Amino acid sequence: MSNKKEISAAFPFESNFLDVSKSSIHYVDEGDKSAEHSFLLLHGNPTSSYLWRNIIPHLSPLGRVIAPDLIGMGKSGKPDIDYTFKDHIEYMDAFIDKMQLKNIIFVIQDWCSGIGFHYANRFRENVSGIVFLEAIVRSITWSDANLIERFIFKRFRHPKKGYKMIVKKHFFVNRFLPMMTGRKLTKEEMEHYRAPYLKEEHRKPLFVWPSQIAISGTPKFSTDIINAYNAYLPNSEVPKLMFHVKPGMIIKPKEAKQIKATWKNLTAIDLGKGKHYIQETHPHEIGQGIANWYIKTFNQSNK
């Protein structure tokens, strides 16, 4: 594996749309639809299925690969809802059910790790494996964050200051995303990420997400869900693959070490330097790493 392989800005995949709860979910659907396993690639805030564009080709020879956009994000519909964690869970549950996805292998990062882990805890018989990176594995306290992180996320969660930053100034896409990527995103890449949120009224999901993070027990809904799946996952025998980087933002080296020491049936891959949106820094290492793990874990040949 080499960092020298090109990171493409192109998104050469056909768009599909599924009617869900009086709105629509946009998704990419690649690979063999009759394959034994379905890779379900879920993005976080403020990204979209575009985040997985360089990883999808590594997985499509192995099975079905589905990468949806969360409701209100990417090319998905933008209904007049609150865009809470609960809303996103309900829409993704409905999407999975309507798509009739079976033997799911989740590939999850950021907020969608919470959605994927929660699904895996509730529908254990339908999840064959979990790949996670920069994922929400536990609820945290304010003391877990460094000074800069506390300042930024307290500002994000402020009803007025956060709204001004995220909705008015478009901070999440224009500043936070490039800052936490680990390389300079090209003009074409930034245009892809900005496209869903050109209008201020479409930035509501980006603003709501930070308020949903379970910090020091608030909000309770998120805290209860995260605590429940954190009680299940470490002892679960479901095959798990973790990618981690240094310094990281959510899974920092100390957290990665703890997970490696305590989680059952876990494979860990250290990608070296990275921040948060590591699909933009190490996409080919991630894609090939998943492929190698899948072939070894499920005794599949790469045809």
Over residues 58-100, the pLDDT tens digits come to 999 999 999 999 999 999 999 999 999 999 999 999 999 999 9
Q: How far is the CA of 91 from the CAs of 62, 86, 88, in angstroms?
A: 27, 9, 5
Q: Is residue 110 annotated as a catalytic residue, yes or no?
A: yes
Q: Is residue 276 annotated as a catalytic residue, yes or no?
A: yes
3-state secondary structure of 95: helix
Identify whether the C-beta of residue 121 lies closer than 8 Å to the C-beta of residue 51. Answer: no
Of these residues, 29, 134, 255, 280, which one is catalytic? 134
Q: Is residue 170 annotated as a catalytic residue, yes or no?
A: no
Of these residues, 43, 192, 276, 282, which one is catalytic? 276
The rounded distance, in Å, linking the Cα atoms of 119 and 186 is 34
The predicted model scores a pTM of 0.95
Q: Which residues contact 6 (CB under 8 A, 6 or more apart)?
A: none
pLDDT in tens, 37-53: 999 999 999 999 999 99
- Which domains does the chain possess? 16-141+219-297 (3.40.50.1820)
Q: What is the DSSP letter of 39?
A: E
pLDDT at 300: 67
Of these residues, 29, 30, 87, 110, which one is catalytic? 110
